[in-house]
Amino acid sequence: MTRESCGDLAWRAIDCGGPLRASLYLIAVALVCFGQVAGARCKELIVSDGWVQAADDVGIDIPLFLTIRNEVDLPDALLRVRCPVTNFSEKHIVDHGEGAPAMRSIPSIPIPSNSTVVLNAREYHVMLLQTRRPLAVDDRFVCVLVFEKAGAIETEVEVRRSP
Ligand SMILES: [Cu+2]
């Protein structure tokens, strides 16, 4: 799902951040928006291609994969994820240090400015914990992602066949 306007972006920042952070972000958004030629769309944070693997079992943990494109000239961070099919979620990074790769829980996933972050099983991803129902191929559900600056963004997640 995509943000429609810079105004919306700014108001969401006020909802979610402290007053000082919101003010600074408002100024930043205003600069970004007013810098655009009339008629051009504003820069935004876009979440797309959300998917999970199909799973018959309930109460299991499954990774959620997403593509996050940050067109804004400021870094952001993914803080929280809520999905109706799961009780909890964590942000994970795969630690490729010595020994076998291992997943570690982290407080947020960094989204650098002007970049595209593709969550995947080898680096950053979201882990959905304790699924509440079976997930059948072509099933769809909507998750809410909360970003440090962009605020809450809803995105549709598709259930795909296990490879
Ligand atoms: Cu994980």
Cα(149) to centroid(ligand 1), Å: 24
**Terminal alpha carbon distance of the chain:** 26
* b/e per residue 66-90 (b: at least 16 CB within 10 A): bbbbbbbebebbbbebebebbeebb
Cα(43) to centroid(ligand 1), Å: 30
Cα(36) to centroid(ligand 1), Å: 39
Q: What is the pLDDT of residue 39?
A: 53
Q: Quick one: pLDDT band at residue 2, thresholds 50, 70, 90?
A: very low
Spatial separation of the C-alpha atoms in residues 162 and 159, rounded to whole Å: 9
Q: Quick one: pLDDT band at residue 152, thresholds 50, 70, 90?
A: very high
Q: What is the pLDDT of residue 29?
A: 53
Cα(73) to centroid(ligand 1), Å: 29
Q: Which residues contact 5 (CB under 8 A, 6 or more apart)?
A: 42
Cα(142) to centroid(ligand 1), Å: 20
- pTM for this one? 0.76
Cα(130) to centroid(ligand 1), Å: 13
Q: What is the pLDDT of residue 28?
A: 56
Q: What is the pLDDT of residue 41?
A: 65
Cα(63) to centroid(ligand 1), Å: 6
Query: Residues 89-136: pLDDT tens digits?
Result: 999 999 988 888 999 999 999 999 999 999 998 999 999 999 999 999
Cα(64) to centroid(ligand 1), Å: 9
Q: Which residues contact 155 (CB under 8 A, 6 or more apart)?
A: 1, 47, 48, 50, 66, 142, 143, 145
Cα(128) to centroid(ligand 1), Å: 8
Q: What is the pLDDT of residue 32?
A: 52
Query: Residues 7-35: pLDDT tens digits?
Result: 444 434 434 445 555 555 555 555 555 55
Query: Residues 47-77: pLDDT tens digits?
Result: 999 999 999 999 999 999 999 999 999 999 9
CATH architecture of 44-160: Sandwich (2.60)
DSSP type of residue 55:
B
Q: What is the pLDDT of residue 98?
A: 86
Q: What is the pLDDT of residue 162?
A: 74
Tell me the one-letter amino acid at 144. Answer: V
Q: Cβ atoms within 10 A of the Cβ of 137, count?
A: 11
Cα(103) to centroid(ligand 1), Å: 5
Cα(162) to centroid(ligand 1), Å: 16
Q: What is the pLDDT of residue 49?
A: 96
Using CA atoms, how far residue 150 sits from 25, 36, 41, 95, in Å, is 9, 19, 16, 28
Cα(21) to centroid(ligand 1), Å: 30
